Amino acid sequence: MSALEITAVAVSFLGIWLTARRQLLCWPVSLTACALYFKLFLDVRLYSDMVLQALFGIAIVYGWTVWARGKDDAGEVIVSPLPPGRALIGLAAGAVGGIAIGWFTSRFTNAALPWMDAGLSSFSLVAQYWTARRHAASWLLWILVDVLYVGMFVFKELWLTAGLYAAMVGLAVLGYRRWQQARSLH
């Protein structure tokens, strides 16, 4: 457990908590967490997750913009439904991305867990996009991905990060409930 991991965990937790509360401040906090985790994942050779942090950075800027424009008259971020067709397209893209990234990292890098890392990274991008688009269903995908991440981080002995991801499962449940409630109000 390093100072970098401790800081990354604390900043990530804050960013997710703010996201569950639909606070715009979640975006700059999450961008900081991405930078911290980029360095941590580089250090432990989880290259797909390292690249994922860079892509999250791009998605965060996108999400920040979408959320800033997607507010109601009271200034609350509006939650929008995820159409079934878009859900299927997103899940298919996650699967294809996982296979492509896994194939590449298993052949051309010394990645520690290329297939698992790739699959989780790919589906995390889908969940992040859905979060940026303000879909409550993003939280359901986050729950699944985060449960699997806990196992991967335990295996890599990133205990604090595994604990963060376990807590993120709880935050995702909270986020889903809060976003479902907000959706029913609009």
Which value, in Å, is the radius of gyration of the alpha carbons in the chain?
16
Separation between Cα atoms, residue 131 and residue 18, nearest integer Å: 12
Return the closest-CA partner of residue 53 out of 161, 140, 169. 161
pLDDT above 70 coverage of the chain, percent: 99
Q: How many angstroms separate the Cα of 35 from the Cα of each of 39, 41, 111?
A: 7, 10, 20
Q: Are 15 and 28 in contact (CB under 8 A)?
A: no
**Tally of residues, the chain:** 186
3-class DSSP state for residue 43?
A: helix
Q: What tokens were used for 31?
A: 């961008």
The pTM of this model reads: 0.86
Q: What is residue 186's predicted lDDT score, i.e. its pLDDT?
A: 58
**Cα–Cα distance measured from residue 8 to residue 21, given in angstroms and rounded to the nearest whole number:** 20
Q: Which two tokens stand for residue 44?
A: 């432990």
Q: What is the pLDDT of residue 161?
A: 84
Domain boundaries, the chain: 3-185
Please state, rounded to an integer, the average pLDDT across all residues of the chain. 91
Amino acid letter at 119? G
pLDDT per residue as tens digits for the range 30-72? 999 999 999 998 998 888 778 889 988 999 999 999 888 887 8
Token pair in block for residue 142: 């986050």
Q: How far apart are CA 25 and CA 13, in angstroms?
A: 13
pLDDT in tens, 139-155: 999 999 999 999 999 99
